[in-house]
Amino acid sequence: MERPYICIVMTTKRETNNNNIMKAKFMLVAVIAMVASVAFATEPETKVAVVGQKQAGTYKVIYNGEGKVKLNIRNTEGETIFAETINTTKGFVRPVNFAGLEFGEYTIEIADAAGKQVQKIQYKAEAAAQNVHVAKMGEEGKYLLAVANKNAEQINVKIFDGENNLVHDKNIMVNGSLGLVYDLKKVSGTPTFEVTDNSGVVKTIKY
């Protein structure tokens, strides 16, 4: 009768240490992956965006979600100046116009089942210098300077000749739209217009 064959595998201390190290590394990777997934899961999703429009003081409030939503707008003093409750299944876009309100910081708050999200905007006067245009007229040497402004404001108009010499410097009160024709036939070279408004914004137009 043959005796059973027994194979004994001897594990050295070095091999045991290597196995322990590999197990420790695997556990560390698993823990890091678990922490990363938890952190990602708890990160709040941005559902609200407030986008400024071309016209000063106008914005679009964009909400990406569903359910019952409360929209509140508050002024600098924290007073609610607009409130609306919306039931939506696909989100919504709401135009907001601050024309006629005082300049300052306004708070737009969206509240839904997941909590509240707040966006702050600064409503301020549009710089008059940004709405200045200069056009060369048909008659030689004549230029039209046009300013479009909703508020009464003083602007400064400077005109330089082709060698950057100052040939005109005048303060003008603008209350609404204004158009001025300048006869620059006697000005040498190509003229440069420089318009500065009350806020210090400068617009330079060169022909």
d(CA 191, CA 63): 49
Q: pLDDT by residue (tens digit) across 45-56?
A: 557 888 887 676
Task: Set out the domains of the chain in order of their start, with CATH numbers.
Answer: 48-123 (2.60.40.3080), 128-206 (2.60.40.3080)
Q: What is the pTM of this model?
A: 0.47
* DSSP state string for 42-107: HSPPP-EEEEE-SSTTEEEEEE---EEEEEEEE-TTS-EEEEEEEEESS-EEEEEE-TTSPSEEEE
Note the pLDDT tens digit of each residue in 54-90: 676 888 899 988 899 999 999 989 999 999 999 998 8
